Each structure stands twice: as structure tokens, then as C-alpha cells.
Structure 1
Amino acid sequence: MPDPAVVGRSMADIAERSQRLVAEWLKRQPMEDHAADPLNIGRAFMEMTTRLMANPARLMQAQLGFWQDYVTLWQNTTRRIMGMPAAPVIDPPAGDRRFRDDAWKENEVFDFIKQSYLLSARYVQDVVAHVDGLDAKTAQKVDFYARQFIDAMSPSNFVLTNPEVLRKTAETGGENLLKGLNNLLSDLERGKGQLHIKMTDFDAFNVGENIGVTPGKVVYQNDLMQLIQYTPTTEKVLKRPLLIGPPWINKFYILDLRPRNSFVRWAVGQGHTVFVISWVNPDERLAEKGFEDYMTEGYLAALDAIEQATGEREVNAIGYCLGGTLLASTLAYMAAKGDDRIKTATFFVTMMDFQEAGELGVFIDEEQLQSLEDKMNKRGYLEGSEMATTFNMLRANDLIWSFVVNNYLMGNDPFPFDLLYWNADSTRMPARMHSFYLRKMYQENLLKEPNGIELVGVPIDLRKIKTPAYFLSTREDHIAPWKSTYRGTQLLGGPKRFVLAASGHIAGVVNPPDGGKYGHWINKDLPADPEAWLQGATEMAGSWWGDWHRWIQASSRAQVPARQPGDGKLPVIEDAPGSYVQVRLLA
């Protein structure tokens, strides 16, 4: 058992920290009327309830089905207690890690708790999904937040209904709960009253030391980005340099996480002269930087710099997620201006048509945008942690509740994991840019419309893009659903190739050939319907990286002697990964 004196001191410290946190939190709470419901959830559920009450027969039918299943569960549990076999009424979905402990199946009480929860969850989801008369946006919001509630109420999230937590509590005499409470308070202190769950050991990684370590030099910089040129590892390189534009919602080193899974290192090894844009982590001084500034000071400035560094005017370009949306916008702008420097374009999990934006659309309505813009206009930027919370909610069981159980109930320290370190290494969004992006792309869906958007006074049209394009999407993407990204193939005017990788937004992209973890699908035909594309596609084993490299080589195999950073007209500024990426919001 723990030392009572140690427990007493710990509890006194916890009480003092808790009191201070609550007082500080109360001071920061806004008094505006909309602050009580900034996500506009209440109105959506009120509308759902009104519609639901208008059809009591359907509600009664759902309740009867639920109670029939519940009676069967009681009967089966009684049979099990009496030593007789009984099949489960309901099983958790395949891959649901919340109920992997053997006690959830072997112990009659915990099996009953688990199945009761699953039946209740199914009942709520069925009722919510079959409400007549709701518009699509409201129905999506109700469904999303109903699932958030269901996930939160899982018995695995509570001490008394989680057998694994109870077992550890008994083994440690409750030390796990005491340590978990300290972990919780530390996370609240780090978030200054907001809960910032610590998903990994922040001290285990350092960008430039054990992640983001591919050798290279910063050869250009401006207010919005640093341009990194990587050191070659082959005697000859492809004549066309490769420019990679990552999203500025996260940092570029997701493509250079570790040597074994670094796309940057691998591309250098294939003979590419790789340049990567490392975006600034903006503060209030860059509040007025807009989407078009990211184009002019991002891709266009990088093209000019690459020509100075290598003497080459023509490049191959990659855009990842938001970086891909910017690349498509830039190509349309360049087409309007007669600029043909980008000879091939690759789009990683990139949306151009936002009609079906997936569950991120839940956060895009006029009330929420106004609330968000109020916050951004006061600060000059969107705080990175707020964007991270939104993405985490898309996979709440994996990215929120599993850490609640591990850190707060089990009292464990988070495991050192490079991907989760990157995920927590948040970046801010300039107010003007983010408002433009959310309104023009997500809310109004104007990028797909001919001349729907102007950049630097130039109306742009994606259909005028004749550049050969390679689309890489991922089948389990929660952020950029693959059927939405596929629509880009119907918008661009040049030759196109679409490849669908297994897994999600990150793992499906960062999938090196040596790992062979996930396969991919290919189909040269590009019908309008993405399902028709998939039905005609061929599944291939292993990574898509080799397919992409062969596609690039087909456009031009010309080679030149390897280029060293600093050999051209641009002097070296500093070593990669540069200083911009080192600006951290982690605490």
C-alpha cells in the first residue's frame, strides 16, 4: 500500500493546483451569448427532437426493438451465470480496442456491461440516423455529436466498469489513480485550463536530432517559409528538381520523420534534387497574410529560388493536403498567366471539390465560422491546439479516450511515439488566410467553379490546368475522404493518374517500400463515379511510392550531375531542418 504521508502530501498538492486551475479558467470565460454553444450543437439537437416527436410510431418501434434485445441479453447472462453457454446478442466492431481485455468476454458481469453499452449505442445511432425531415448538414451534425457522446460514455472510460483499471487499482493500492490525477492536472496546467492531453513523451524527440534528420540546407527564406534543399546521395540526379509543398496546418517533417520511413530521404535516394517548403509558425504579426500570399510567397517564390539554386526552370511539384489545394490553385493561376514551369503535379490526399468534405463539414456553418472569426480577429491567428482538437474528434476513441484511460485511469506515462509527437507539434493559422480557406473552399465550394475564386486579381479555373497530374488518396481518410479527392480527376484538364492507398491520411502516404505494410489500387480509367473506379481497380501489394517514381520518370528521364546545396546562386542560410520548424507550441 502507498505511504499515507506521501498520499496526504499528494492530495494537498492536487487540491491546491485544482483550485488555482478552476479560478484561472473562470477568469478567461467569455460572456457573449454564443459562448455557451460555440459549435451550434443545441439547435441541431432541438430540431432533431422536434422531428422525432412528430413521428412517435417510429420511435416506439425502435424502443421495442431495443428492449427485446435487452431482455435477450438478460436471459443469456443468466444462462452464463448458471454455467450454460449463450451466444452474445451483440459484438463490438472488428478492431475495437476498447474491449480487448479478456475479462470483457470471460467475466459475465463485464460481458453484460459491454453488451448493454453496445446495444444502447446502436439504439441511439439508429434513432438519430432515421429522423425524417432534417437537412443534410443538421443530420450530419446530430450524427457526429451523438457518436461523440456515445464514445464518451463507453464503460471502458470509467474506473468501476473497466476491468483492466480495476485490476491495476487493486495491484497498486490505488497509486495508478493518484498518478493519473496528477497527469490530468499537468495536462490542464499545460493547456492553461484547457485539457491538452499528452499523447507522447515530448522530451523523447527533437527535430533535427532524431526526427527530421535528412541532411540538407536552407537556401531561401521569406516571411512565410524557408526553402530546404537536400544533399544528394547519388552521383547523378534527374534534371528536373522536385518541390514538395506540405500543409501549413502541420509541419513538413511528417515526410521526414525517421530515416526508415522518410519520403524525403527515399526521394533523394531515387535521384531527385528535393526541395521542401518549411512553413512559418505564424503569430499575430502575420494576421493579414492571405491564401494568395501563401501562393506568391510559397510555391511561386520557391520556383524562382529553385531556378537560382539549380539553373533549372522546369520542376516536378508535390502538394500534400492543404498544400495540394494550394498547388492546384497555383497551377490554375499559372495557367491563366501562361506560366508552365511546373511540368508534373502530384496531389497527396488533396481536396479540390469540397461538396462532400466528410466529417470536417460538421464544423463549417455560419454560426461556427463567425465564432471562429471572432476568436481569430482578436488574436490574429487560430491557435494550433484548437485545430488539433478538431482532428482528434474525428477519431475520438483512438486519439482522445484511449489516452484518457492510459494516462488518467491506468496512471501510465504516454509511450514515446514519433508520429504522435508530430501530431502534437501544432501550428497556428493566420486569421485572414484561414477565414478565406474555410469560407471559399469548405462553405461555398468555389474552387471547383470556373472563375469562382480570384488570386492576386486573377480569376482561376482548374479546368485550364493541362499539367500531368498524379492523385494519391487513402481509403480510410477521415480528413480528406477519398471519394471527394477523386473528384479532382474530373476537374483538371490534363492527363491524370489516380492511385488509392490503404490506411489513412498519414499512414497511407508515409508507407515506405521496405515496410510493405499497406497495399494500393490502380486503374487507368477515370469514370465520373469513384465507386466505378474502385470496382475496376487492381489491388497491388506494398507501397505506391515506386508507382509514383515510375510515373515521374516517364515524363522525363534526363539526368545531370548531382547538385550540392549552395553551389548555385543561393548561398546556404543554415542547416536543415531550419529554424522555422523549431518554433513549437508544445509545453
Structure 2
Amino acid sequence: MAAPRDPHSPATDAPDPGTSGTGALPTLEEIQHWTWVVGRAQQMMMEQGLAALPTVPGVNDPATLGRLHDFWSDSLTLWQRILTPGDQPGTPAAPVDKRFKGDAWREPAFDLVRQSYLTIADHLLRGVDAVEGVAPKQKEQLRFATQAFVDAMSPSNFALTNPEVIERTIETRGENLLKGLQHMMADIGRGQLTHTDGTAFEVGRNLATAPGQVVKRTPLYELIQYAPTTKQVAGTPLVIFPPWINRFYILDLTPEKSFIRWAVDQGLTVFMVSWKSADAGMKDVAWDDYVRAQVDAVDTIRELLGMPSVHAIGYCVAGTTLAATLALLTARGQANKVASATFFTAQVDFADAGDLTHFVDDEQLKMLANLSPEGFLDGRYMAATFNLLRGRDLIWNYVTNNYLLGKDYAPFDLLHWNGDTTNLPSKWHLSYLTDLYRDNLLVKPGALSVDGTPLDLGTVTTPSYVQAGREDHIAPAESVWKLTDHFAGPLRFVLAGSGHIAGVVNPPAAGKYQYWTNEDGAASLADFVAGATETKGSWWPDWRKWLTSLDDSSVKVAGARVPGKGSLPALAPAPGEYVRIR
């Protein structure tokens, strides 16, 4: 079989087209020849046309023409690889892309589709990076939008360009498409993309099953106290503030993943705040109310157990609010009510807050206001936003598997929690996005107040443990690190493997991931990483050791240390009522 000639050689030196005979299918040599002819003709016309135009910046200036030439060169190289059997010398191995991992994507026709898409996608993104004369924020927004477009246009997302879908359709005689249509119509009906089998999990049955009792209920939150499993417990109790944009049971998934169960088994008296999903009656709830609620929970626990202080954990946005709570208590001369503060992937400085900042310009905020006519934002809008941050994994992966291939949904506790949305008070939500994400007021001393008290993070001296996720796309590690620039007290920073959820929910028994520490201190995250020590497995034991270093006192389990046995009677078994409100 004759190989095609160099596509850059003169046309008079083109391969012999041969003949196929009347009515016969073209041979591979003929396809190669005519592909080369058409490609070379397009190149000649493009070069001639561009040469005749006056120089226009951004259109046919030297930099733009250079990028066009690179694209054309890469396209011709792609055609040569496709049309010439065997591996091409000097061609680097492509990184594994799970969208195209099936063998069918290596068949000539679909290999061309795949590689053409990847070539175009690469040049689109490189083109964005090369754009000049725009503000850095605008360029980031453009890149985010381009990446979303590129992900959406993947040939794996369409039935006629996905060989696995075509094969599946033939095998099932179209049943996969009918089943996929059922999945799609069900999602349209519920207004939310499904990620997992909705019948596999149930709160109180196989999720959020740690034994405990609700010991307080307010219009905004329930306070759950968990049953001890040890005869002695640490003297200082622990209260956990989960993000109110999600259900608290991310920290109490299946028993083997439960941070709450693990903490109780470590001899801690654990309390959990379970926030109420917003309704029309919460239209006037503001950020001050959430800070006030955190202070109220701290005071309730101190009074119940007769202890001067508590350890506190704030996860994500609740960690942001915990920082404000510490500043408020400090301003009031009550900082000693919190013995230590732990921050799970929490931001206080939003200067580099990642991709979520693309959703907080004036137009986006105006749209959100229009979506909340009854005073609360439907949680499905927030879920859609977070899905967009990882569209390839959380949107298009499911379009392919469950709509096109017609596969059943796999049971996955974490994804069940991810789809269990909560509504947000619209007034608070808008002020949070405006004051923090857009205007970054929390790190400006006195710019924000709670109940008339100005906040200054620089006055906080509470010992703090700050955990960040190396691959966090919601609260980037670089953004979480900035908390170390604002607090004045002793602080331990830990960088965990994985992201916003798996980086936190990583029980020691699983033996997964790793974390990094740096005992010498660092001025930046880059310096921290450069001098860090890696430890395999979960960072939870490191946190427990740090907590013990602050206070190693213990007391016997008796009286109020048992849920419902103190001054606060048991109102309902854990996980309570608020976690079930939709």
C-alpha cells in the first residue's frame, strides 16, 4: 500500500489517484489522495486570501496568523496520522481522556472525529489565552465559557458521533435510547439532573445514622447532640457548623465514612447544627442571623455542659461565617468562648475565589433576584451552578451514560447528598455573593458589621486549624490559604489530597489520598508546598492530635454528656426534622 506523500510538497508530486472502476467503492489510496488534494487546496486559498488582506489587529495580524498557521499545521498532521497506518514517529502519547477510553474510538472514522475535536478544542483554549487587551477577570470568564462550550460540544455527547452509543443502540435495538429518554424526561420533571439511584439511600435509614438526639430547635437550626461511645470524653466539647447550602450529613454519610462517628469514637462530645431549608417565612433572614445562630449554639452548649468554651468547626460557607463569629466575639471581649476553630475548605478572602466568581457580576445577581420572588432561592439553581463548575464530570458524563447509553444509575452516597438540595434565604444569599464574592468586604477592617459591631479578622487570636483541598474547584487551595494572612493567632495549615468533598470526607480506615504539612512555616502556599512533608492517608488523626495539644483534659460520661439527660430534653432522635424538609 502506497503511503501519502508529504502534504507540503508541490501538487505535481501528488500520489497516484488510481482508479476504482465504475460503481466500485473508493480504495484507501483514493481516499488518501483526494483528502490530500482538498486539504492542500484549502491551505493554498487560505494563505492567498490572508496575504491579500491589510493587517488588522486580532484578525490577520502576525500573532493571529501565526495561530492560524499552527492550527492548520496541526490539522494536516492529524490527517497524516489518520490516513497513514501505524504509529507516527515522534508523536507523543496523548493523555488518557475517559470520554474516549473505549476501543471503538480508535477505529479510523471515529479516531478522526475524536482527534479533530481535541485539536479544535486545544486551539480554541489557546486562542483565549492569547487574547490581549482585556482585563484578567474578563479573560478568565472567557476561558471558563470557552471550556464549557468545548465540553458541551464533545462528540461523546451526541449519539451519531459516539461509536459506543451506536454499538449499544444496535445491540439493544434502540432500547437504550428509549430508556435514556425516560431518564431525561424524569429529570426534566424534577428540574434537576440525576447522578445516582434515588432509591438506594434514605436519611435515617442508611445515611445520617449516628445515634443522637435533637436537644434544641429554633426557626433557623436544630442542635443535635451525639451519644458518646467512650467512658471518658474530652472536657471541651465540639460543635460543627456545616454549610447551609447543603445538608449536614455530608459529615455523617454511611457509617464507615462518618466524620461524626469517628469523632465520637475519639472521645469527643459532638454537637451538630442542622440548618433549616429556607421557605417564604425566612425571606428577611440575613447573614447576621447565621452569625447570631452560631453564637447561640456556642452559648447553649457551654451552658448545658457547664464548660467555659467549645471547639468549633466551620465547613465551607459556614467556615466563612465562623471567622466572622470569632471577630464578633473578639470585639465583644468574649473570644474565650471558642477554644479553637477548625476550617474545612473555607474562604475569608475572596480575591482569588476561583470559578464561582464568574457567577457574581451585576447581571447574574439581578437574575438571581428575579429567581426568588417568594423570598428564597430554590436549591436546584445552586446545584446547577456547582454542576457547571465541573460540567464534564457532573453534566456531560451523565448525559452520555444515562441518556444516550441508557445505563442505570449507580448507587453513590456522596452523589445522593450532592443532589439533596436546600433552599436559601434570597436576601442573605444575594448579600453573601455581593459583600463577599464580589466586593470582598470581610477582609477589610470595619467594612462589615454584625448587630452593629464592626468586624476585623486581624484581631482574631483563636488557635486555628485550616484544611484545604489540593484539587478543590469550589474553594481553591490558594484562596483558602489567604486565611493565614488575616488571623493573628497560632495557626496550623494542612493541604489534603483531592477536592472540596473527598478531601474532607476521608476516613483513616479507607487508606486513601494524603496530606501535606510544613512545620517550618511559609509565606505563601507555593513556599508551603515546596517545604512540605507528605503523609499518606487521612488528615483526621493529625487534627485530633492538634486538638489534644490544646487541651488534654477529660471528664467521665455522665449527666448532660448523655443526650437528653441534662437541662435540655431530647426533642427527636437524630438526624432530626430539619434535614428532611424539602
- Determine if the TM-score, normalized by the shorter chain, exceeds 0.5: yes
Instruction: Find the counterpart in structure 2 of residue 10 from structure 1.
Output: none
Offset at residue 312 of structure 1 (A): 1.7
Q: Does 1:296 align with 2:287?
A: no
Mapped to 2, the partners of 1:136 and 1:52 lie a distance apart of 19
Find the counterpart in structure 2 of residue 338 from structure 1.
Answer: 333
**Correspondence for 1:316:** 311
Determine whether 1:405 maps to 2:407. no
> For the Cα contact (< 8 Å) 2:467–2:495, is it kept in 1?
yes
Q: Deviations over 1:87-113 (max 9, x none)?
A: 69576544x3111112223x2222221
CA distance in 1, matches of 2:443, 2:305: 34
**Residue of 473, 480, 486 corresponding to 2:475:** 480
Asked if structure 1 preserves the Cα contact closer than 8 Å seen for 2:302 and 2:310, the reply is no
User: Secondary structure at the residue paired with 2:468?
Assistant: strand
Point out the more displaced range, 560-569 or 492-501.
560-569
Q: Which residue number in structure 2 is paired with residue 46 of structure 1?
A: none
Deviating more after overlay: 65-74 vs 570-579: 65-74
Aligned residue identity for 2:441: L
**TM alignment of 1:337-416, pairs within 5 A:** 337-339=332-334, 340-376=336-372, 378-416=373-411
1:492 aligned onto 2:518: no
Q: Is the 8 Å Cα contact of residues 468 and 495 (structure 1) preserved in structure 2?
A: yes
1:380-414, CA deviations, whole angstroms, 9 ceiling, x for partnerless residues?
01110111111111111110001001111001121
Structure 1 range deviating more: 387-396 or 96-105: 96-105
Distance of 2:145 and 2:74 partners within structure 1: 25
1:530 counterpart residue number: 525
AA at the equivalent of 2:148: Q
- Which amino acid in the other structure matches residue 158 of structure 2? F
- Superposition pairs of residues 43-442 of structure 1, within 5 angstroms: 53=58, 56-80=61-85, 84-86=86-88, 93-94=95-96, 96-105=97-106, 107-191=107-191, 196-297=192-293, 299-339=294-334, 340-376=336-372, 378-442=373-437
Q: For residue 360 of structure 1, what is the amino acid of its counterpart?
A: L
| Cα distance between partner residues in 2 of 1:93 and 1:391 | 26
Unaligned runs of 5+ in 2: 1-55
CA distance in 1, matches of 2:148, 2:92: 20
SS at match of 1:53: coil
State whether structure 2 residue 573 is matched by structure 1 residue 581: no
Q: Which amino acid aligns with 1:122?
A: D
Structure-2-length-normalised TM-score: 0.88
Instruction: List gaps (5 residues or longer) in structure 1.
Output: 1-50
1:88 to 1:148, Cα distance in 2 relative to 1, 3 A: farther
For residue 468 of structure 1, what is the aligned residue in structure 2? Answer: 463
Distance 1:422 1:88 in 2: 47
- Number of residue-to-residue matches in the alignment: 523
Q: Which moved more, 1:316-325 or 1:174-183?
A: 174-183
CA distance in 1, matches of 2:409, 2:60: 48
What secondary structure sits across from 2:166 in the alignment? Answer: helix
| Structure 1 residues 520-544: Cα deviation after superposition (integer angstroms, max 9, x where no partner) | 0001244332111110111111110
1:52 Cα deviation from its structure 2 partner:
7.0
Residue 526 and residue 491 in structure 1: after superposition, are their counterparts in 2 closer, same or farther (change >3 A)? farther
Report the alpha carbon displacement of residue 183 of structure 1 after superposing the two structures with TM. Answer: 1.6
Distance in 2 separating the partners of 1:447 and 1:320: 17
Instruction: Work out whether residues 52 and 131 of structure 1, in 8 Å CA contact, stay in contact via their aligned partners in 2.
Output: no
Contact 1:249 1:428 in 2 (8 A): yes
Q: 1:334: how far off? A: 0.2
Note if contact 1:361-1:442 (Cα within 8 Å) is conserved in structure 2: yes
Q: 2:84 aligns to what SS in structure 1?
A: helix
Distance 2:115 2:218 in 1: 57
| Aligned amino acid, residue 76 of structure 2 | V
Deviations 1:177-229 (A, max 9, x none): 111112211211222xxxx2211111111101100100000000101100000
Task: Describe the SS at the equivalent of 2:440.
Answer: coil
Larger radius of gyration: 2
Q: 1:379 to 1:57 in 2, by over 3 A?
A: farther
Runs of 4+ deviating beyond 6 Å: none
TM norm structure 1: 0.87
Equivalent residue number for residue 571 of structure 1: 569
Q: Which amino acid aligns with 1:206?
A: E
> Could you tell me which amino acid in structure 1 is paired with residue 228 of structure 2?
P
Q: What one-letter code is carried by the residue in structure 2 that aligns with 1:179? A: K
Give the C-alpha shift of residue 499 in structure 1: 0.2
Aligned mates of 2:90, 2:379 — CA distance in 1: 44
Q: Identity, % of aligned pairs?
A: 47
